[in-house]
Homo-oligomer: A and B are copies of this chain.
Amino acid sequence: MRASDRAYEALREDIVEWRLLPGQVLGEVEQSERFGISRTPIREALSRLTADGLAEAHRGRGVVVSQVSLEDVRALFELREALDCRAARLAARRRDPVAFQGLAAELEAVVAQLHGPGTDRAGYYDLVERMDRAIDEATANPYLTAAQRSLRLHLARVRKLSRTNPDRLARAAAEHAQIARAIADGSEEIAEAATRVHLANSLQAVLTTPVREWVQPAPPLEAAG
């Protein structure tokens, strides 16, 4: 694997996991020393982060981690509704019934388990990721998938901002199961409607859950332009 790939993935993870906070300056020299590689691959990694929207280039100052505001959450969910609803419809149309029946069954099992004693967060999130991949595959639309990839990056960052409570987790799993079932059945309308319901509830949950800090601790930079 290339050095620039390693640096890109590491930095991306750091940003998504909030180890690198908004406003943080990512100097080329500093990062090249951190990873023990030269500036060239670092430059490429920073370019990719900028293209992803996770960082912004400030002339003369360097690349800084981008901010996330409540406005951004609204905007992200708006785009997500457009993409996810369409993806659900297309997946229902060009479905792979077996795959989605299996996902629905697994999700229902998770729902039952979440109502019980333990909450297997990791298992659930892994399952959701597999469902995302299954939908991408079913839509058979590389452009839609590319747009989803970029969007999910930002959503992952926002999600990490607040801790989803267990009740919401169980209901989210149930909503996902509903979507998977509708796709397996080939019910486009239901798949889209269920997706819309899920997104509305998710947004609601994000907006009502106490977050770490919407306004990050004073960034190293002064509020410039």
Contacts and interface: CB of A to CB of B under 8 A. Distances in A.
Given A82-B86, A83-B82, A76 B44 contact: no
Interface in A37-79: 40, 43-44, 47-48, 51, 53, 72, 75-76, 78-79
A73 to B, nearest CB: 10
A217 interface: no
A79 B151 contact: no
A75 B136 CA distance: 12
A196 interface: no
A151 B150 CA distance: 13
A143 B53 contact: yes
A207 interface: no
A147 interface: yes
Contact of A47 (B47, B76, B150): B47
B154 A76 contact: no
Chief secondary structure at chain A's binding surface: helix
Contacts of A90: 78
Contact of A48 (B47, B76, B82, B144): B47
A215 B22 CA distance: 46
Contacts of A82: 82-83, 85-86, 144
Interface in A131-151: 140-144, 146-147, 150-151
Most buried by B among A40, A44, A140, A144: A144
Given A51-B48, A53-B143, A81 B86 contact: yes
Contacts of A72: 142-143
